């Protein structure tokens, strides 16, 4: 019950933060030439999802299998980080499963909140710069960042929308889990854009406004409920 109430309380904030991340993305064109590789990478999975049949085409099944693999690997990594043990991982285009010693909220929801391919791109680029001893390949890096973050967002949405996910129940209930997933994806997307284009986004100001708008929503709801109650009592 506590997690249900917490999920309801955080729901407006989660929606506002995620909407802010999309508004920031929409304002990127024209900000600087460096944004276009990122936007091009972001647009590619969106276009592919609109054009291709992801369930029957060989390419779609390949992409689906890759997502399932990263999904289950994130479960495993989160379990290890929480001190648990992983006994086996099964992944394929038709689904996957990971056998673990115990289940936690963090391990259950991590694949929906953490874009593992994006993290791998960051680590790979840092290794590339370290090995070369100089920077380079920024456009490719930005393209892959846009590609992987869009892939994560779309695949997560489709995963939750098309099939019942036991992870949501294990993570604290459907309402709580969906709110956490929405909030964390909004925060991650904002952090990615702030890191890549620091001059374009005022992160502290954006989050401050989100908190104010969320508090304003609840204040408006409380006032409206009070007015309805007083009107009902007087009748």
* pLDDT band with cut points at 50, 70 and 90 for residue 195: very high
Prediction pTM value: 0.90
> Dihedral through CA 137, CA 140, CA 144, CA 146, nearest 10?
110
Q: Which residue carries 């936690």 as its tokens?
A: 104
pLDDT digit string, tens, across residues 65-118: 888 889 889 988 888 888 888 787 887 767 777 887 778 888 899 999 999 999
Residue 188 neighbours by CB distance under 10 Å: 19
Residue 86 in contact with residue 99, Cβ under 8 Å?
A: yes
Burial (CB < 10 A; 0-12, 13-18, 19+), residue 118, is buried
Within 83-228, strands assigned E span 86-92, 95-100
Angle at 201 between CA 181 and CA 211, to 5 degrees: 50
Cβ contacts of 78 within 8 Å, gap of 6 or more: 104, 106, 107, 110, 111, 114
Q: Which residue carries 């009070």 as its tokens?
A: 226
pLDDT digit string, tens, across residues 125-136: 988 888 876 667
The CA–CA distances, whole Å, from 163 to 73, 95, 142, 166, 168 equal 19, 11, 32, 9, 11
């Amino acid at each position: 019950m506590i997690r249900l109430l917490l999920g309801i309380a955080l729901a407006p904030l989660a929606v506002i933060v995620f909407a802010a991340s999309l508004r920031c993305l929409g304002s990127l064109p024209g900000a600087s030439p460096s944004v276009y590789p990122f936007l091009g990478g972001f647009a590619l999975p969106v276009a592919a999802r609109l054009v291709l049949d992801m369930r029957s085409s060989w390419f779609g099944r390949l992409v689906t299998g890759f997502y399932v693999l990263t999904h289950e690997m994130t479960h495993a990594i989160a379990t290890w980080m929480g001190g648990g043990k992983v006994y086996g991982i099964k992944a394929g285009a038709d689904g996957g499963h990971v056998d673990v010693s115990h289940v936690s909220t963090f391990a259950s929801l991590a694949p929906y909140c953490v874009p593992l391919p994006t993290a791998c791109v960051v680590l790979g680029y840092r290794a590339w710069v370290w090995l070369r001893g100089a920077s380079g390949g920024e456009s490719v890096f930005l393209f892959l960042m846009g590609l992987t973050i869009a892939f994560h967002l779309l695949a997560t949405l489709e995963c939750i929308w098309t099939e019942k996910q036991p992870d949501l129940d294990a993570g604290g209930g459907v309402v709580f889990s969906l709110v956490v997933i929405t909030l964390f994806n909004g925060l991650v997307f904002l952090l990615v854009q702030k890191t890549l284009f620091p001059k374009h986004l005022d992160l502290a100001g954006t989050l401050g406004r989100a908190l104010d708008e969320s508090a304003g929503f609840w204040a408006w709801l409380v006032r409206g409920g009070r007015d309805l109650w007083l009107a009902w009592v007087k009748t």
